[in-house]
Amino acid sequence: TYFSSRQRDRTGLVTFADDTLIDYVPPSAKHLDTILHTLARITPGTSTAPRGGSPSDVEARSGGLVQTMTRVVDAVKRRGILVVVSDFYEPSDTVVEALGRARYAGHDVIAFHVLDPTELEFSFDQPSSFEDLESEVRIPVVPEQLRSRYQELIGAHTATLTRELPRVQIDHVLVDTSKPLDRVLFEYLGLRVKLAKVR
C-alpha cells in the first residue's frame, strides 16, 4: 500500500471475518492514511458491525469465502492487483474457486497464506484447550494424539494450494510469521520478477 501510494496508484482495502465483510475502503491514490488507520484497529477475535461504503454498504451477510470474494470482485470494478491475506482455513478446492473468481474477473491475484510456526508444526507438548479467535469455541486437545494426523492434513492442504493456485495463474506465498515481513516480501518480489520473464 505504501509503495503504491508513492507511485500514486489506486489502493483499497477490504477486511472480513466470520465470512462477513467488515471494512471497505474504496480504491484511491489518497487513502493511505485511512487504510493504515483501519489496519491498526483490527485485533484477532473481533467481528464488529460492518463499516465503510459499498459494496451494498458492506452489508453483514453470512457466507463462505466464495461469497465473500464474489462481493469483493463486485465492489472492485477496475482490474488491478488483488492481494488476499488469510490463513485459508477452508477446503482447498473452496479457496481455489474463491480466488479463481477474482482471477477470472481479470485481477492479478496474490494469495499470502499466513501461518504461525505452531500451526505448521503443532509443536505443543501439554494437554491444552484451544480457542478459535473468530468463533471463541474452545476445544480440549491432547497434542501427542493428534500431531501426526494434524501435520499430515496441514501439509496436504498447503501443498494442494501451492500446486493448484498457480494453475489458475494465482501466486501462492506461504508466510511463516516467525520470519521478518520485509524478508518475505523481498523474496516474493524477486520470485515475481523471475516469473514475469517466463509468463
Q: Where are the domains of the chain?
A: 1-78
Averaged over successive runs of 10 residues, the pLDDT of the chain (199 residues) comes to 59 73 74 80 54 38 71 83 88 94 92 90 81 75 84 93 95 90 81 65
Other residues' Cβ atoms within 10 Å of the Cβ of residue 21: 25
Residue type, 169: Q
Contacts of 114 (CB under 8 A, 6+ apart): 85, 86, 87, 175, 177
Other residues' Cβ atoms within 10 Å of the Cβ of residue 107: 20
Other residues' Cβ atoms within 10 Å of the Cβ of residue 68: 21
C-alpha 192/C-alpha 12 separation (Å) is 22
pLDDT reported for residue 58:
34
- Radius of gyration of the chain from Cα atoms? 18
C-alpha 53/C-alpha 145 separation (Å) is 47
Q: Return the ∠ at Cα 175 (arms to 169 and 177), rounded to 5°.
A: 165
Closest CA to 98 of 127, 134, 66, 76: 66
pLDDT reported for residue 195:
63
C-alpha 113/C-alpha 111 separation (Å) is 6
Give 37-59 pLDDT, tens digit per residue: 887 877 765 444 334 443 333 33
Whose cell is 453483514? That residue is 60
Whose cell is 520470485? That residue is 191
**pTM, two decimal places:** 0.74
Bridge-based pairing state of the strands 108-115 and 128-131: unpaired
Q: Is the dihedral of CA 93, 163, 161, 73 positive or negative?
A: negative
**Largest CA-CA distance found in the chain, in angstroms, rounded:** 53
pLDDT reported for residue 61:
37
Q: Which residues partner with 50 through β-bridges? A: none
Other residues' Cβ atoms within 10 Å of the Cβ of residue 101: 19
